[in-house]
Chain A
Amino acid sequence: MKIKTEIITFSEELILESGENLDSFKLIVETYGELNASKTNAILLCHAFSGNHHAAGKNDESVTGWWDQIVGPKKAIDTEKYYVVCCNNIGGCSGSTGPLEINPASNKPYGKDFPQVSVVDWVKTQKMLMDKLKIPYWHLVTGGSLGGMQALEWSIAYPKSIKKAGIFAAAASSSTQNIALNEVARESIRKDQNFFDGNYYEHGVSPKSGLKTARMLGHITYLSEELMDMRFGRRFQDEESKVDQKVNFEVENYLQYKGEKFSESFDANSYILMTKAMDSYVAGKDQGLNNVMKNVEAQLLIIGFYSDWLYPPERGKEIQLAAMDNDVNSSYVVLEGDHGHDSFLFDSKKYSKIIKKFIES
Chain B
Amino acid sequence: MTIKLSKIINDWVTDESKIIDFGCGDGSLLKELMDTKNVLGYGVEISDSKIQKCITNGVPVIKQDIDKGIDEFKSSNFDLSIMARSIQCLKNPNLALNDMLKLSKRCVVTLPNLGYWRCRISLISGAMPVTPELPSSWYETENIHLCTIRDFESLCESEGIKIKDKVFLNKNGNQSRFVSINPNLMAVEGVYLLEK
Contact assessment for A357 and B60 in the assembled complex, using a CB-CB cutoff below 8 Å: no
State whether the Cβ of B3 lies closer than 8 Å to any Cβ in chain A.
no
A205-234: which have CB < 8 Å to B? none
Q: Which of A133-141, A251-259, A268-276, A319-327 contacts B (4 or more CB under 8 A)?
A: A319-327
A290-339: which have CB < 8 Å to B? 299, 301, 317, 320-321, 324-325, 327, 329-335
Given known contacts A325-B75, A350-B48, A357 and B62 CB-to-CB distance under 8 angstroms:
no
Contact assessment for A331 and B60 in the assembled complex, using a CB-CB cutoff below 8 Å: yes
Contact assessment for A357 and B73 in the assembled complex, using a CB-CB cutoff below 8 Å: no
Residues of A within 8 A of B77 (CB): 325
Distance, CA A360 to CA B54, complexed state (A): 13
Contact assessment for A331 and B62 in the assembled complex, using a CB-CB cutoff below 8 Å: yes
Task: Kindly provide the distance from the CB of B146 to the nearest chain A CB, expressed in whole angstroms.
Answer: 29
Partner of A358, one of B55, B72, B75: B55
Q: Which residue of A lies closest to B59 (CB)?
A: A331
Contact assessment for B72 and A332 in the assembled complex, using a CB-CB cutoff below 8 Å: no
Partner of A333, one of B40, B63, B76: B63
How many chain B residues have a CB neighbour from A under 8 Å?
A: 20
A336-355: which have CB < 8 Å to B? 350, 353-354
Partner of A332, one of B18, B48, B57, B63: B63
Most buried by B among A321, A333, A353, A358: A333
Distance, CA A267 to CA B77, complexed state (A): 48
State whether the Cβ of B168 lies closer than 8 Å to any Cβ in chain A.
no
Residues of A within 8 A of B76 (CB): 321, 324-325
Q: Which residue of A lies closest to B41 (CB)?
A: A329
Distance, CA A314 to CA B158, complexed state (A): 35
Task: Kindly provide the distance from the CB of A230 to the nearest chain B CB, expressed in whole angstroms.
Answer: 22
Partner of A357, one of B42, B52, B72, B75: B52
Contact assessment for B55 and A361 in the assembled complex, using a CB-CB cutoff below 8 Å: yes
Partner of A331, one of B48, B54, B72, B73: B54
Task: Kindly provide the distance from the CB of A318 to the nearest chain B CB, expressed in whole angstroms.
Answer: 10
Distance, CA A360 to CA B75, complexed state (A): 30
State whether the Cβ of B66 lies closer than 8 Å to any Cβ in chain A.
no
Q: Which residue of B lies closest to A290 (CB)?
A: B75
Contact assessment for A350 and B52 in the assembled complex, using a CB-CB cutoff below 8 Å: yes
Partner of B57, one of A327, A329, A361: A361
Contact assessment for B55 and A331 in the assembled complex, using a CB-CB cutoff below 8 Å: yes
Contact assessment for A329 and B60 in the assembled complex, using a CB-CB cutoff below 8 Å: yes
Partner of A353, one of B52, B61, B62: B52
State whether the Cβ of B154 lies closer than 8 Å to any Cβ in chain A.
no
Task: Kindly provide the distance from the CB of A292 to the nearest chain B CB, expressed in whole angstroms.
Answer: 16
Partner of B61, one of A317, A327, A331: A331
State whether the Cβ of B69 lies closer than 8 Å to any Cβ in chain A.
no
State whether the Cβ of B160 lies closer than 8 Å to any Cβ in chain A.
no
Residues of B within 8 A of A327 (CB): 18, 40
State whether the Cβ of B2 lies closer than 8 Å to any Cβ in chain A.
no
Distance, CA A321 to CA B57, complexed state (A): 21
Contact assessment for B52 and A334 in the assembled complex, using a CB-CB cutoff below 8 Å: no
Residues of B within 8 A of A361 (CB): 55-58
Q: Mark B35-46, 1 if CB is under 8 A from A, else 0.
A: 000001010000
State whether the Cβ of B97 lies closer than 8 Å to any Cβ in chain A.
no
Q: Mark B93-129, 1 if CB is under 8 A from A, else 0.
A: 0000000000000000000000000000000000000
Task: Kindly provide the distance from the CB of B34 to the nearest chain A CB, expressed in whole angstroms.
Answer: 10
Residues of B within 8 A of A299 (CB): 60
Distance, CA A306 to CA B51, complexed state (A): 16
Contact assessment for B55 and A332 in the assembled complex, using a CB-CB cutoff below 8 Å: no
Which residues of B line the A interface, CB within 8 A? Answer: 18, 40, 42, 48, 51-52, 54-58, 60-63, 72-73, 75-77
- Not counting A332-B62, A354-B55, A357-B52, a sample of 7 additional A-B residue pairs whose C-beta atoms are within 8 angstroms of each other reads A317-B72, A321-B72, A324-B76, A331-B60, A335-B48, A357-B55, A361-B56
* Sample (12) of A-B pairs whose CB atoms are under 8 Å apart: A317-B72, A321-B72, A321-B75, A324-B62, A324-B73, A327-B18, A329-B40, A329-B60, A333-B61, A333-B63, A335-B48, A357-B55
Which residues of A line the B interface, CB within 8 A? Answer: 299, 301, 317, 320-321, 324-325, 327, 329-335, 350, 353-354, 357-358, 360-361
Q: Please provide the 5 A-B residue pairs with the shortest distance between their CB atoms, ordered closest to farther.
A: A361-B58, A324-B76, A357-B55, A357-B56, A332-B62
